[in-house]
Amino acid sequence: MAAPITAKGNLAAVPRPAAARRKAGGKWGIFIRGAILPALILALWQLFSATGFISKQLFSSPLLILNQYVELTRSGELPHHLRVSIVRAGLGFVLGASCGLILGMLVGMYRRFEETVNPTVQMLRTVPLLAITPLFIMWFGFGELSKVLLIALGAFFPLYVNTFLGVRTVDAKLFDVARALEFTRLRQMVRLVLPAALPNILLGIRLSLSLAWMCLVVAELLGADTGIGYMINDARSFMQTDIVFVGITIFALVGKLSDSIVKVLEARLLRWQDSYKG
Amino acid sequence: MTAGPVLAINCVSKTFHGEQGATHVLDTLDLTVHDGDFTTIIGPSGCGKSTLLKIIAGLDQDFQGEVLLKGKAVTKPSQEKGFIFQEHRLFPWLNVENNIAADLSLRDPDVRRRVDDLIRLVKLGGFEKAYPRQLSGGMSQRVAIARALLRKPEVLLLDEPFGALDAFTRGHMQEALLDIWQTNRTSMVLVTHDIDEAVFLSTRVVVMDARPGRIKAIVPIDLPYPRKRTGRSFTELRTLVLEKLEHHDEQEAYSI
């Protein structure tokens, strides 16, 4: 339990030993610790490639990739593919995640609903996405619809499962409080269940985002004429390893970026939590 | 103090059906609480005093008999009956002022003003933006009391609210509660197992018996406030309540 504070001013800044220790290195300290390993790998890669120890054709090199980045950006090719991919992933994620959130809440709050819907969803969850892909292509064609739906399907499950779990971890005693204060059904949902389940929901969003991103690659590799996945596939058939690497690193960067955004959201929204921070 | 029953409990019985058969938790219990009263219910554990409080609150609807609040039957929980639980039960994701407001908006100037008044009343000025994890047990319980009072309840029901606090904080909280009662004139029904607390706070003490739960005696406490725990009349009343409580144990000793 946190010690009660007595002074008026320092409510926000209750010092914790772990936080104090972290502060010693500062934000840059954290960044540098995280960057050591990637930097080392890049340096070795460049060295091996430049000395001819590994084939430039097959493995490329950091400088060549960087060069390709500049060129593709200048030609407008990269921004174009990236925009298409982000729109696809974004649409699919919003569709799948909102379905997952709503259904997860309902299943969590109403036992009847759980008994009716959950077994089916759990069964569908075990079907590998790759197995469904051909069906989606047959039904919805090679257009945008099949891609967005495939991504939505991928994004649906993690958020559904985690929202469901989050609702079930809400302290039952707080429902008595909500009853005594005469919360309406809607208020109970918005003011009690949603905030209490938020830690799990945010975790679900992070997992959903990364899965949406993964499904995007599957959808674009299987058949597309735009997007980062297409760019990779196209470059592969011409043995343009640099471009393949550009695509892969773009996936990594955007994936990390979206994850970081949710993490910032987590830090802001879960300020009230009193859990161990390492 | 104006008279007139704010709360009437008529013939309330409750039977709990467990594995060992039926247990009479409450047996045809009658009790009237007048407006502005500070009633304390005291009794051994298992006498059904907390159950009675939950029934009054409408949180427990599985009982026989009737509970009337200002003449109307209680069928469900409502804001007219403020309930303070043993633990504070604040929403951990809301700060102090938002916990008090709960489902009401602080942007409403009327709510804002009343929340500010209550924060002053429970002496939490300066802690408006603190989260429950940053508060001590006594402070959290005061937030819970303010949250109930914001709904302008006819009666405030307190279920061993200071049981989990240390003796020092408990004393402070009792004084704070008296302060609130004298300022607001809200009728109070407090459940406790602390005789000292009962005599210190209330206008009358209801002594309950266990198995089946029924009222054994009602001891009026007509000492002027503020009360001195060391005073002679205080000690006498304390002893009287204790005697009423222990009376039961002797009988039980005989029956065994």
Going edge to edge, which strands form the sheet with B38-42? B81-84, B155-159, B187-192, B38-42, B204-209, B214-220
CB contact under 8 A, B89 and A8: no
| Per-residue tokens: B94 | 């809301």
pLDDT for the residue A22: 54
Residue of A nearest to B99 (CA): A191
Q: Does B81 touch chain A (CB under 8 A)?
A: yes
Q: What is the CATH number of the domain that holds B191?
A: 3.40.50.300
The span from the CA of B188 to the CA of B36, in Å, is: 7
Domain count across chain B: 1
The span from the CA of B78 to the CA of B66, in Å, is: 16
Contact indicator for A231, A247 with CB cutoff of 8 Å: yes
CB contact under 8 A, B92 and A173: no
- Site from A169, A272, A273, A275 to mutate, B interface, most B CB atoms within 10 angstroms: A272
Residue B1 lies in a domain: no
Contact indicator for A215, A150 with CB cutoff of 8 Å: yes
- Site from A181, A192, A268 to mutate, B interface, most B CB atoms within 10 angstroms: A181
> B217-243 as b/e, with b when 16 or more CB fall inside 10 Å?
eebebebeeebeeeeeebeebbebbee
The span from the CA of B156 to the CA of B160, in Å, is: 13
B134 to chain A, minimum CA–CA distance in Å? 5
Residue B6 lies in a domain: no
CB contact under 8 A, B59 and A191: no
CB contact under 8 A, B89 and A177: yes
Which burial class, exposed, middle or buried, applies to A245 when counting CB atoms under 10 A from its CB (0-12, 13-18, 19+)?
buried
Residue B86 lies in a domain: yes
Spell out where chain B has E strands: 5-18, 21-34, 38-42, 64-69, 72-73, 81-84, 155-159, 187-192, 204-209, 214-220
Residue B111 lies in a domain: yes
- Give the A:B interface size as CB pairs under 8 Å: 70
| From A8, A198, A271, residue closest to B126, measured CB to CB | A8
- Site from A8, A10, A11, A184 to mutate, B interface, most B CB atoms within 10 angstroms: A11
pLDDT for the residue A21: 54
Q: Does B92 touch chain A (CB under 8 A)?
A: yes
CB contact under 8 A, A272 and B92: yes
The rounded percent of chain B whose pLDDT value lies above 70 is 95
- Site from B54, B61, B93, B147 to mutate, A interface, most A CB atoms within 10 angstroms: B93
| Interval A32-43: pLDDT, tens | 988 899 899 999
CB contact under 8 A, A173 and B87: yes
Residue of B nearest to A179 (CA): B77
* Rg, chain B, Cα only: 19
CA angle A203, A26, A16 (to 5 degrees): 65
Residue B212: pLDDT over 50? yes
| From B83, B103, B134, residue closest to A187, measured CB to CB | B103
Residue B256 lies in a domain: no
pLDDT for the residue A1: 41
The arithmetic mean of pLDDT across residues B150-175, rounded, is 91
Q: Which chain A residues are Cβ-neighbours of B126 within 8 angstroms?
A: 8
Q: Does B123 touch chain A (CB under 8 A)?
A: no
Q: Does B96 touch chain A (CB under 8 A)?
A: no
B161 to chain A, minimum CA–CA distance in Å? 14
Q: Among A14-28, A149-163, B44-58, B235-249, name the one with the lowest average pLDDT.
A: A14-28
Q: Which chain A residues are Cβ-neighbours of B131 within 8 angstroms?
A: 271-272
The span from the CA of B111 to the CA of B104, in Å, is: 7
- Site from B56, B133, B150 to mutate, A interface, most A CB atoms within 10 angstroms: B133
ipTM of this predicted structure: 0.82
Residue A188: DSSP 8-state:
I
Q: Which chain B residues are Cβ-neighbours of A187 within 8 angstroms?
A: 103
Q: Return residues 125-154 of B near A (CB < 8 Å).
A: 126-127, 129-136, 139, 147, 151
B131 to chain A, minimum CA–CA distance in Å? 6
> B6-32 as b/e, with b when 16 or more CB fall inside 10 Å?
bbbbeebbbbeeeeeeeeebbbebebe
Residue B156 structural domain = 35-64+75-247
pLDDT band at residue B27 using 50, 70 and 90 as cut-offs: confident
| From B92, B103, B135, residue closest to A4, measured CB to CB | B135
Q: Which chain A residues are Cβ-neighbours of B147 within 8 angstroms?
A: 181
The rounded percent of chain A whose pLDDT value lies above 70 is 90
The span from the CA of B133 to the CA of B90, in Å, is: 10
| Interval B172-196: pLDDT, tens | 899 999 999 998 889 999 999 899 9
CB contact under 8 A, A195 and B147: no
The span from the CA of B135 to the CA of A6, in Å, is: 9
Residue B13 lies in a domain: no
Residue B26 lies in a domain: no
CB contact under 8 A, A274 and B147: no
Tens place of pLDDT for every residue, chain A, 278 residues?
444 444 444 444 444 555 555 555 678 888 898 889 989 999 999 999 989 888 888 888 999 999 999 999 999 999 999 999 999 999 999 999 999 999 999 999 999 999 999 999 999 999 888 888 888 888 988 888 999 999 999 999 999 999 999 999 999 899 989 988 999 888 888 889 999 999 999 999 999 999 999 899 888 887 788 999 999 989 989 999 999 999 999 988 998 899 999 999 998 888 888 766 65
| From A4, A5, A195, residue closest to B93, measured CB to CB | A195
Residue B7 lies in a domain: no
Contact indicator for B143, B121 with CB cutoff of 8 Å: no
| Interval A49-106: pLDDT, tens | 989 888 888 888 999 999 999 999 999 999 999 999 999 999 999 999 999 999 999 9
The span from the CA of B245 to the CA of B242, in Å, is: 5
| Interval B63-120: pLDDT, tens | 999 999 988 899 889 989 999 999 989 999 999 999 999 888 899 999 999 999 999 9
Chain mean pLDDT for chain B: 88
B87 to chain A, minimum CA–CA distance in Å? 10
pLDDT for the residue B253: 45
Complete domains list, chain A, with CATH:
73-269 (1.10.3720.10)
